[in-house]
Amino acid sequence: MGSTIKAQIKNFKEVQKNLKSIKAAGEKAVKRTVSDIRSRAPGWVSQEVAAVYGIKKGEVNPAGKGAKAGSISVRGETIDNLQLVYSGRVLTPTHFGMTPRSRPASQPGGRPRKYTVKAAVFKGQKKTLGSNVFLGGSASIPFKRVGNSRLPIKAVKTLSVPQMVGSDRVMPQVKKRLNEEIGKRLDNNVKNAMK
């Protein structure tokens, strides 16, 4: 002898509809979060780089006008495979608050004024670039004598944007900031999608 119990949900069609809308809202929230990351992550990274190095945020993040220190491309379509790829050249000290910006005027009699070229590669740590560093006549780029004679000379270089972003001082801060901000954006987008 057997017994069968039959159970029914009165509003089964409505529950099914709600579950489908929740799934659609979740997909929409993830899509919006990826879009947020693509537009906001370069700014977050540039803030962390500028907190350690003596470079302006606007030079690290190539959006907008002004001097650019490098370029960034955001690759990937989902949160799992999104990548920020930085590229750029090795920078001169002019990007790091170099002083003086140009060669000082000569003294009366034609003798050049003495000056020391300094730059703050790390924020708040302005240091002398060396005793044999000088500024060129027309350009404000610092040069350094290679030998004891007058020539050859070569431009003084510091770091590139990829080196700054990937450094041991910046990368842990960048990862922490991205994790926090991505979590906030995902929560916000889920709330907005569920309305």
Summarize pLDDT for 43-102 with one digit per residue, the tens.
Answer: 899 999 999 999 988 888 876 666 677 788 888 888 788 888 888 889 888 888 888 888
DSSP state of 81: T
- Lookup: tokens for 133: 């560093």
Q: Tell me, what's the pLDDT at 29?
A: 84
| Alpha-carbon gap, residue 122 to 103, rounded angstroms | 23
* Site of tokens 């990829």: 162
Mean of per-residue pLDDT scores for the chain: 83
Is there a contact between 29 and 193 (Cβ–Cβ < 8 Å)? Answer: yes
Cα of 13 vs its chain's centroid, Å: 49
pLDDT at 138: 67
Treating both helix axes as pointing N-terminal to C-terminal, what angle do 12-52 and 171-193 enclose, rounded to 10 degrees? 150
Say what percent of the chain tops pLDDT 70.
90
CB 67 within 8 A of CB 35: no
C-alpha neighbours within 13 Å on the C-beta side of residue 42:
22
* Cβ–Cβ < 8 Å for 119, 158: yes
Reduced to 3 states, what is the DSSP secondary structure of residue 139?
coil
